[in-house]
């Protein structure tokens, strides 16, 4: 099967949380969320969703992967009541409604999420919901989801956190009816997590993808979980390997208090700056590729591979940039990978305790429909 691709060219759960969308200042005040309460401001795009692809990329095994994802999604829907099915299924074409339904804030600070909460499902329904999520993710991506939720459970158990946190407050929603021959999106997320996987009918998009972890290390099931360790090793390894001249070239003109293209910020990417991929050593180039795969590869291999191939073909037009520091456990470390299509950001934040915010976006086909 040829999978059609469009191939043209954060605050958290703390009382003193800053706005998720980063600015070139040292701090930012919380903004009103789309549903009221503290959170990101969000205005849905008035753009007409892209209706047709402008190119095609063969993806071996994608037909099988879509079929498997549809089966798991339909199995989950089969466990639901009529009212639950109505709540969990939304229109695919409503781009604006997708844009304003995710955040890295917990529910108590952002009430724009839709769909069904895991806490409102019985055990069988919850198991089926997780199976649907697992079917569109890679093994590493699904492990990351469970680690993020486990970290949030621990954070919630410590008490004193504003907002509703923990596993019960993660939401699942389908935009469109899950099917192999028409596009649909599985959105899953909550505090510090958002996945949008769009497949079916030739559509393929696995962004926006917000991933964060708090605390960055914790005990779960008798084991120590180091959240986002691989991502940390690759991205910080890349920037810490830079020579003095490379580091100077990679430094941004501004400093940032949070992610620039986080929730509620879907257009107007900053002008590209930083150090060109072409100026990197072979070892550094390998780390760039590994870092991109860390985020894009959270999606199932059949969905991630065509996108990774596309981004790799554009690496000579890609830059890396940082501001603040490049120390792994220092507040204010900010890094980005910026290509014609791929956008990855990382920031170390101190809001409500030291932790990480990251986001992966595709500048053209976020949400499976794209924004102008």
Alpha carbon distance 45, 68 (integer Å):
32
- The pLDDT of residue 129 is 98
Residues 6+ apart with CB under 8 A from 228: 144, 211, 213, 216, 356, 358
Enter the pTM of the model: 0.88
Q: Answer whether 213's CB lies under 8 Å from 128's CB.
A: no
Q: Is residue 49 part of a domain?
A: no
pLDDT at 278: 98
- Domain membership of residue 128 (yes or no) is yes
**Per-residue pLDDT tens listing for the chain (372 residues):** 334 433 333 334 433 344 345 554 432 323 333 333 344 567 776 554 443 333 333 344 578 999 999 999 999 999 999 999 999 999 987 677 788 999 999 998 898 999 999 999 999 999 999 999 999 999 999 999 999 999 899 888 877 555 688 999 999 999 999 999 999 999 999 999 999 999 998 889 999 999 998 888 888 878 898 889 999 999 999 999 999 999 999 999 899 989 999 998 998 899 999 999 999 999 999 999 999 999 999 999 999 999 999 999 999 999 999 999 898 888 889 999 999 999 999 999 887 788 899 999 999 999 988 763
Q: Are 191 and 154 within 8 A, CB to CB?
A: no
- Three-state DSSP at 339 gives coil
Residue 31 lies in a domain: no
34: in domain: no
Per-residue pLDDT at 164: 85
Q: What is the pLDDT of residue 284?
A: 98
Residue 41 maps to a domain: no
Is residue 259 included in any domain, yes or no? Answer: yes
- Parent domain of 242: 2-20+58-368
Task: Kindly state whether residue 346 falls inside one of the protein's structural domains.
Answer: yes
Q: Residue 37: its pLDDT value, please?
A: 35
Count of CA atoms in the C-beta half-sphere (13 A) of 159: 0
Q: Tell me how many domains the chain contains.
A: 1
Q: Within a domain: residue 70?
A: yes
């Amino acid at each position: 099967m040829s999978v059609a691709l469009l191939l043209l060219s954060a605050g958290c759960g703390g009382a003193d949380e800053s706005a998720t969308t980063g600015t070139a200042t040292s701090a930012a005040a919380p903004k009103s969320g789309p549903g009221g309460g503290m959170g990101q401001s969000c205005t849905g795009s008035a753009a007409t969703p892209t209706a047709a692809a402008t190119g095609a990329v063969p993806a071996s095994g994608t037909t099988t992967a879509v079929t498997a994802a549809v089966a798991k999604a339909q199995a989950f829907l089969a466990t639901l009541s009529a009212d639950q099915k109505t709540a969990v299924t939304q229109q695919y074409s409503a781009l604006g409604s997708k844009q304003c339904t995710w955040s890295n804030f917990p529910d108590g600070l952002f009430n724009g999420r839709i769909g069904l909460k895991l806490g409102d499902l019985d055990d069988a329904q919850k198991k089926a919901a997780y199976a649907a999520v697992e079917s569109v993710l890679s093994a590493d991506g699904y492990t990351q989801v469970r680690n993020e939720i486990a970290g949030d459970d621990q954070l919630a158990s410590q008490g004193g956190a504003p907002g509703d946190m923990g596993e019960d407050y993660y939401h699942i929603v389908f935009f469109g009816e899950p099917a192999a021959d028409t596009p649909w999106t599985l959105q899953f997320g909550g505090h510090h997590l958002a996945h949008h996987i769009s497949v079916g009918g030739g559509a393929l998009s696995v962004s926006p993808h917000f991933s964060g972890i708090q605390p960055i290390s914790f005990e779960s099931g008798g084991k120590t979980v180091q959240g986002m360790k691989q991502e940390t090793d690759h991205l910080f390894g890349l920037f810490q390997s830079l020579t003095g001249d490379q580091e100077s070239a990679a430094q941004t003109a501004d400093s940032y208090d949070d992610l620039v293209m986080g929730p509620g910020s879907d257009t107007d990417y900053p002008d590209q700056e930083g150090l060109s991929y072409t100026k990197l050593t072979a070892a550094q180039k390998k780390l760039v590729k590994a870092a991109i795969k860390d985020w894009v590869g959270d999606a199932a291999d059949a969905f991630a591979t065509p996108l990774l191939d596309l981004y790799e073909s554009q690496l000579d037009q890609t830059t890396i940039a940082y501001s603040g520091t490049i120390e792994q456990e220092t507040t204010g470390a900010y890094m980005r990978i910026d290509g014609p299509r791929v956008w990855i950001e990382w920031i170390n934040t101190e809001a409500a305790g030291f932790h990480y915010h990251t986001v992966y976006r595709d500048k053209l086909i976020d949400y499976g429909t794209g924004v102008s």
